Structure 1
Amino acid sequence: MADQLRVDRRGTRQSLRERNLALVLQAVAAGDGAVSRADIRRATGLPSATVSEIVTELLDRRVVQEVGQVRAGVGKPATLLALDRDHHLFVGVHVGRDRVVASRLTLGGRVQESLRMPYRPGDNPVPIAADAVRALRASADGSVSAVGLATPGIVTREGVLTQAFNYGWSMVPFGEQLSRACDGLPAHVINDSNAVALSEVVLSDRSRLSLVLLWLGTGIGAGIVLDGRLYEGPGHQAGEIGHIDTGHDLPCVCGRSGCLEAVAGLPAVVGDSDVAAHLAGDTDPGLDARVRRAGRELARLVSSLAAMLDVADFSLGGPVVTHPLGPALLSAINTELAARPVPGFSTVRVDFSEFGDQDVVIGARRTPCARSWA
């Protein structure tokens, strides 16, 4: 009987502190100026002493501010809390296929300034990212607290990029390199699809505790948030769905055939077609067929994830959001989902990410918000 319950001993005091701080910040952000300490306790399940300690520290550091009081029945009025949205500044950096995009943002996610710099796939993006960070710090009206870097590939909590097939990277300490290049500024690295998933949960106007964000660009990945917490897996590989076997015989860059990226990645869908001419009325049947095939395979994936994870909230993010074929791909996915519902589950529908072409840099900013103050 004793072996039926195993206690996870891998947690550390630091990781527990980061988790608690993130829970409190999320509760304050969700309250939008109308949340008290008692509300935070109820929302997070944390002890009163823990909530009080974290809130006091966040007030001292001007991450949270008091915005008034409210009386609920007898007794002392409750003090309401909100994010101090404009005091702290961050830089979010996204490493894309052919460019590095960096934005200076407030804690509330408001973009103040953005830079786009050309980039050759496979090169180390840190020097370019560091140049962008220095420029954005120099033009800032206030100090930048930290930088978040969102990148394709598998990333550890220590900021080490362990593998990125499409870029040829392996075991690169991006976090350490970027911090050193930025004169010791705290630098935190996160997988790009995880970054967007976090932005969807933390900054969305909708109440979203569990969702799967499908990243669709040259590669395909997923950011998985369950009960308000990002799930990365023990090897930080959760969501690495691009090389799932679809059963097709199309070659993939990884050396295998039939990978999801080889069927539904944007380059695979576009092929050698003239997308602009197609959308203007010069119909390309081959392109239409590839869009339907990609939609079919992505819908099958969504159905499987919905059943396995008991999640009904799915978003589509990454380059597909602004790509000319984005609407057609989204429609193809939802058409297939409607035609093949999973028995016992409500119909699942996929929407675009709420933050458009800023989804990654906003999500990249989310990572240092929680870790820099822990």
Structure 2
Amino acid sequence: MHIDFHESFLPSYIPRAIVELCLQEHISEDVIFAQLELCIQQLRDPHFKLTYSEMSILVGNCLSALDLNQLSIKVGQHIQLKDLGLIGQLLQHCPTLKDALYVLERYSVLIDPALWFKVEKDQDYFVIRYRKMIPLGDIYQYSQEVISILLIRLLSQLFDIENLQLHFEFSIPSHAKQLHFLPCSMSWNQPETQLIIHDPKHSSNIGQAVSSNSSSEFLQLKQQAESQFKDFFRVKKYWIFRVLSLIHSHLHQPLKAEDLAALLFTSRSTFFRKLHVYHTNYEDLIQQVRMDFASKYLLQNKGTVSHLAYTLGFSHPSNFIKSFQDYFGMPPKQWQNSQFETIALLD
């Protein structure tokens, strides 16, 4: 199944904020909008939507132009509540941290459809799991740092919270000391990126708002968010984008259908029924996403076939090779060589 993402359907809040940062850093618009027929005036329109292709190129241009050593810090500190659209307004009026975490978990798609949040409550702490659900390659680590910085900064700004612990899933970077401004302890090489907020009082209302909020405004904004959320999942393109993004984010260990359906706030039967509209099934989608990832990996000549196989969750390289051959008609190495030959001829 092929999904065309060349229609405008993605919110431009975060890309616009990153572009504004680049302009502040004196990066020219020619660099920012290279390969795109866009301009800053369009992005500044609050109703403007981007295509998936435009978003990928635009963000890629910006991130490539910024200094990587300062990338996550600059982006994470630059984004403000106003850059989160309706959800930014809603967060400002949340009476407790518990409400804010619910808002992030349920409505993050209204900020960026490729964002994923999951909040778990234990007796004395909240665990917030999050990630960017599209393949970002070498800049994935920076995306996790950006979300972490933004999350800690905005929640600390809005709520009286302390005892924060941040786990990163990657090795300690060379710029780790530059992250010490964050009011939390940090650890590296963890199974998953998480923010842990301890609650020694076992309070369900952990983290009272720093400023007084109107409950009527909160409820009104929440109704608006719920309406937009439902509209989001009525649009087929949004929905299938979310499905493919979730599969991308769990390539190493694919989710069970019922678990993925739960992350889409729908039932297993509804999930399968909606997939039927696309004349596909869950297993075929997983295969499509895996093979799409594999083809990009091989074209970029990133590493060995064995490493690729385990990255994609195959128990043995031979299983991956057979699956790849069934999909592309030839083994990975042969396919890779044929692609390089074609590129050489075109050059």
TM-score by length of 1: 0.27
Give the TM-score normalised by the residue count of structure 2: 0.29
Task: Flag the structure with higher strand content.
Answer: 1
From the two aligned structures, give the one with the greater helix fraction: 2
